[in-house]
Chains A and B, each alone.
Chain A
Amino acid sequence: MKKISTLDDLKSAGDKGMKSLFPRGVKIVVGMATSGIASGADKVYEALQSAIKKRKLPFTLTKTGSMGMDFIEPLVEVIEKDKPRVAYGKMTADKVPQLIGQIVKGAIDKIKPIYRVDEEDIIAKREKKHYLTGIVPEYLQDIPTMYEVPFYKKQVKIATRNCGIIDPESIEEYIARGGYLSLHKALTAMSAEGIIEDVIKSGLRGRGGGGFPTGTKWQSCRRAHGDIKYVICNGDEGDPGAYMDRSVMEGDPHSVIEGMIIGAYAVGAQEGYIYVRNEYPLAVANLTKAIADARSSCLLGKNILGTSFNFDIKISKGAGAFVCGESTALMASLEGKAGEPRAKYIHTVEHGLWDRPTNLNNVETWANVPVIISRGGKWFSEIGVPHSTGTKVFSLVGKINNIGLVEVPMGIPLKDIVYDIGGGIPGGKKFKAVQTGGPSGGCIPATMMNLSVDFDALWEAGSMMGSGGMIVMDEKTCMVDLARYFIEFLVSESCGKCTPCREGVRRMNDILHDICAGKGKVGDVEMLEAMAIGIKDGSLCALGGSAPNPVLSTIKYFRAEYDAHIKQKRCPAAVCRALIKYEISAKKCTGCTVCAKKCPSACISGVKKKAHKIDQTKCIKCGICMESCKFNAITVK
């Protein structure tokens, strides 16, 4: 790889990237993030490859990360010179010959595009890139532009600016979209103090959970005594239901690396670590390639960009421990120890990794940094709301139509995310609540739909921003079961170091299990509340301290459900097995025998073409009968 040491070198690498982003002929891009591959993107890619080869077409085929539109994956985009970029969703290998035919003909036949992109912002460069020159070709005029599609309309992409657009393995394409220009600006035209000042001005707060002001953290680390300092990227995205960091590490690894180099220069660090979850093999692979490329281009290592600044990054793989997302536990893990947190009255910015000043930020925080440097802290601070500036990436999942990753300005009303972007709840079911913040967060009920999504408003509502998981629940989700689920998660993930978390959470788990099993007693809820106070006050780390949140917030907003379980021995959402009953409606049952054949405990009996019956004493409540009934004859109560 060519050495990059001047602005001209960056420009020529960027020109190369531009050529591969916008080649002269036809370019087909397949979204190949983990979720894309799991939906079959690899098969689509292979089919495209062989079709292009077979027909000897002068097409270029590349891979990219995720655009966030996970509900229509595998996603394929077609770029042709002077025409809009066109996206096709739910592609399969079978549809490939047709798609190729359409491209060759320059028409739309059976495969309808999802959206087109006429022009797009290159946010890190303050530029617009036009795909379209002249007027929109007639066959594309009825296709909405990306910004007209409800899913994208209210989104603002800063941290995920390149995801789903560039090839994550190409440093040139990253540079073409403004990458490493901020690093150049930082190293050649800004002082370390100037950078920190700009980050403080931006109002950027840590995207990993706590929301601590990033610039202030950097400043403390810079001021800390010590010749050797470290920066760390926390990629141990442990919150269940959250995957935005995976997407950034997979789809745009250089944005994290560039952010870290700038941060290291600002705080005065020489070494950096990226701690990635073991469950994310593709993120590890793409980051490894990106670090190697940055190193051979002299953007990492000695004399970065021809200056006297030296810095390098190592990757460390986690080994499956939720608690390692906590900064002090993560540092213990990096030192090769069990990941147990320690008390934080000794700040990690002064005594962190190997007792040296260490600045740790989350993936998304780092990915924001290059844009802040390029566009200025003031520009960033004008996005969002006063105390929560910029954007936040959420993984919008659960019982929602448009499942995917969304990046929205802070302060957006929750209902805009659920209804406008998310497209509402599937199957005509009633929207019940949104869970944010993972096991440390809480549930926000449907009645609070106008809530502004920002750090402080979520905190006041009894939840928290967390790393950005947003799990939507409908009337078929039991809130008591959900509280039990999170507490059970925390029981097995508690590191065991401090008693309130280790023993207290376990006892809460016992009580919740009893309630779900129909053995709840009057007074259990009050007991849970009392224990929560003790655990919150007495735990050593933030994970223990926030462990009772899922229970407290569900009690606060869904007390009636707890009471139904305890007093009436009834699960209103029909989830808790001990309290539910599957029944066959004699009127609707056609006697097709499908359920009887599928029932694993052979508890359904009846004569063919006559209504069947469930033997309640033998039923294990797996629900497979209801899943397999084509006549909606089976109900659960």
Chain B
Amino acid sequence: MKKAKVEAKTKEIVKKHGRDKTSLIAILQDIQEEYNYLPKEALCAVGEQLEIPISRVYEVATFYNSFSLIPRGRYLVEVCAGTACHVQGAFNLMDRLQRDLEIKRGETTPDNMFTLEEVRCLGCCSLAPVVRIDGNIHPYLTQDGIPKILRNYKTGVTK
């Protein structure tokens, strides 16, 4: 990624938020929306623009679960770890996904297609266990149902 380009984009985003220090989280959210993760260059640029130390930007970026400092794959696979999903065996879904994608929780597949993460309750407890992929919620998922869903994403049939 070109450093100058990232800096220019970051500047634009910071400006949109009125260079307001208290909007740091919203600024980081917008940057992540743009790049799918928080590039180091952007974090440095945010610090400069808002005139706050990079250590504080880093503190906030690492405190919140939804921020990622490493690039994510095209599809974010989030296994719900809410209580309702847990008692319905969501941990088996996580294991199956780890085996099928051949990555560990928090990692991205070598082809940059999938990033596997755990999420703290999506609030769809009535459909437990659920997995959210690229924003789509897959309800009542079974271990057996996983290969087909992954295949659909790989081939572009996402619904």
Q: A residues touching B (Cβ–Cβ < 8 Å)?
A: 34-35, 37-39, 70-71, 73, 237-243, 246, 277-281, 316-322, 333-339, 395, 397-399, 403-404, 435, 438, 469, 471, 473, 477, 482, 485-486, 489, 493, 495, 598, 600, 620, 622-624, 627-628
Tell me, yes or no, whether B77 is within 8 Å of chain A by CB.
Answer: no
List the 6 closest A-B pairs by CB distance, nearest first. Answer: A70-B126, A320-B65, A319-B64, A241-B83, A243-B123, A320-B66
Q: Is the CB of B83 within 8 A of A339?
A: no
Contacts of B66 in A (CB 8 A): 278, 319-320
Query: Are A482 and B87 also in contact (CB < 8 A) when A279-B121, A319-B25 are?
Result: yes
Q: B residues touching A (Cβ–Cβ < 8 Å)?
A: 20-26, 28-29, 56, 59-60, 63-67, 81-84, 86-89, 92, 95-96, 99, 119-128, 130, 135, 137-139, 142-144
Q: How far apart are the CA atoms of A279 and B56 in the complex, in Å?
A: 24
Q: How far apart are the CA atoms of A450 and B139 in the complex, in Å?
A: 33
Residue of A nearest to B137 (CB): A38
Query: Are A473 and B87 also in contact (CB < 8 A) when A279-B119, A319-B64, A600-B99 are?
Result: yes
Q: How far apart are the CA atoms of A351 and B29 in the complex, in Å?
A: 28
Contacts of B139 in A (CB 8 A): 38-39
Most buried by B among A241, A318, A336, A624: A336
Contacts of B120 in A (CB 8 A): 238, 240, 279, 320, 322, 489, 493
Apart from A70-B126, A243-B121, A321-B64, 6 more pairs, CB < 8 Å: A39-B139, A319-B67, A320-B66, A336-B20, A339-B64, A600-B96
Residue of A nearest to B21 (CB): A336
Q: Is the CB of A35 within 8 A of B24?
A: no
Q: Is the CB of A34 within 8 A of B87?
A: no
Residue of B nearest to A40 (CB): B139
Q: Is the CB of A489 within 8 A of B124?
A: no
Contact of A34 among B20, B22, B65, B124 (CB under 8 A): B124
Q: How far apart are the CA atoms of A600 and B123 in the complex, in Å?
A: 30
Contacts of B83 in A (CB 8 A): 240-241, 397-398, 435, 438, 469, 471, 485-486
Residue of B nearest to A324 (CB): B64
Contact of A336 among B24, B122, B124, B135 (CB under 8 A): B24
Q: Is the CB of B143 within 8 A of A336?
A: no
Q: Is the CB of A336 within 8 A of B127?
A: no
Residue of B nearest to A38 (CB): B137
24 contacts between A and B (CB under 8 A): A34-B124, A34-B137, A38-B124, A240-B83, A241-B82, A241-B125, A243-B121, A243-B124, A279-B123, A317-B25, A317-B29, A320-B64, A320-B67, A320-B119, A321-B65, A338-B63, A339-B63, A471-B84, A482-B86, A485-B83, A489-B120, A598-B144, A622-B92, A622-B96
Contacts of A321 in B (CB 8 A): 63-65
Q: Is the CB of B143 within 8 A of A624?
A: yes
Residue of A nearest to B125 (CB): A397
Contacts of A281 in B (CB 8 A): 135
Most buried by B among A240, A317, A403, A489: A240
Contacts of A622 in B (CB 8 A): 92, 95-96, 143
